[in-house]
Amino acid sequence: MEYVYAALMLHKLKKEITEENVTSIVKASGAEVNEAKVKSLVASLADVNIEDGQERREEGQSSRRQERRSSNGRTFILIWLILYHQF
């Protein structure tokens, strides 16, 4: 996970996600660096738009919140009908 966090930190700071930068952050955290993991991460993120992924995640969270709100409203109406109209 420290490798992914390093990539996210670099992205947040608007720095390029390179093997050198990821290695520096992982070393600074006190963890032992696995060069194969660093190379794999950097290569797999080469064609990834992190901003787009974050926006989609936020949109998904927003729609789940909306679903819960509408579900809560339906639950309230059902309880009200049961209590006051004695199905």
pLDDT at 38 over 70: yes
Backbone torsions φ then ψ of 30, nearest 5 degrees: 95, 0
Residue 28 Cα to chain centre, angstroms = 23
pLDDT tens digits, 40-85 = 999 988 887 877 655 666 666 666 666 665 556 666 566 656 666 5
- Position 79 scores a pLDDT of 64
- Position 31 scores a pLDDT of 93
> For the chain, which residues make up each domain, given as ranges?
2-85
Tokens at 41, concatenated: 């991460």
- Position 47 scores a pLDDT of 81
Long-range (24+ apart) CB contacts under 8 A made by 17-23 are 17/42, 17/45, 18/42
Domain 2-85: state its class. Answer: mainly alpha
Residue type, 71: S
- Position 17 scores a pLDDT of 92
